Amino acid sequence: MQRYFLEETESGKDDLAITGDDAKHIAKVMRQSVGDQLIAVVSGTVHLAEITEIAADVHIKLIRELEDRSELPKKVTIACGLPKGDKLELITQKATELGMSSLLPYSAERSIVKWDGAKSAKKTERLRKIAKEAAEQSHRSRIPAIQSVHTFKELVNAVKNYDAVIVAYEEEAKKDGGSRFAEILESLYDKDSILLVFGPEGGISEAEAAELKEAGAQFAALGPRILRTETAPLYALSAISYEFE
């Protein structure tokens, strides 16, 4: 059954309106009619709903709340150094399917691309749309928050907002006895919010690693192989799902 996310302002009401592209999708693509049912997600709560009117907007009435277990038991934010091309779109889509709660793009020392002004706003809006569609497809009850692009300094300042911060650092993978990701995960059962930091192509610089370490971040190797910037976050989320779900 098709799933739609409604605005947070609709919370607490039984008769709701689905607007914009979602309303067009219901009427023109799905060709649903009055009396048909759909899934409506309001403020993280999942409901079975019935269509009561189709006009410019689609009006629905909530029938009952549905049990939902689609969210990861940990709130995981993925911090990605800005990569080239459409890699961040791929990360957003797949990480949403795997349970990411938030995406934090940042401009790293080795980031080749730059997001400035209008370009940054346009890119962020595109990522939010991708996250919404992926959340609907994967039957999530939350759409991951897509944060605006951070400077590296802003990323370091954000470290204090999380219960645990783990940096995937390829130099750690080359060391004998380097911290294994699995071992770190075993120590996080009493932690709620986790920030995972990944570099762009070329990885995190030594200077950035030093700043993150000083801020209290842990460093981990994601296995013996060096992963692409778009692969590493998905590996980490899969491991978290295995450990905690």
Average the pLDDT over 19-34 and give the result. 94
- Cross-strand pairs, 194: 76, 164
Distance CA 13, CA 213 (A): 47
Classify residue 28 by its DSSP letter.
Answer: I
Pairing label, strands 75-81, 58-65? unpaired
If one counts every other C-beta atom within 10 angstroms of the C-beta of residue 236, the result is 25
Q: Is 189 helix (H, G, I), strand (E, B) or coil?
A: coil
Task: Go through the domains of the chain in sequence order and give each one's CATH number.
Answer: 3-65 (2.40.240.20), 75-244 (3.40.1280.10)
Please provide residue 165's backbone torsions phi and psi, each rounded to the nearest 5 degrees: -130, 125
pLDDT at 178: 58
Residue carrying the six token digits 């999380």: 162
CB crowding 136-166: b at 16 or more within 10 Å, else e: beeebbbbbebbebbebeebbebbeebebbb
Q: Is the pLDDT of residue 1 over 60?
A: yes
Q: Band the pLDDT of 8: cuts 50, 70, 90.
A: low
Q: How confident is the model at residue 177 (pLDDT cuts 50, 70, 90)?
A: low
Q: What is the pTM for the complete model shown?
A: 0.90
Residue 22 backbone dihedrals phi, psi, to 5 degrees = -65, -40
CA atoms within 13 A on the CB side of 13: 15
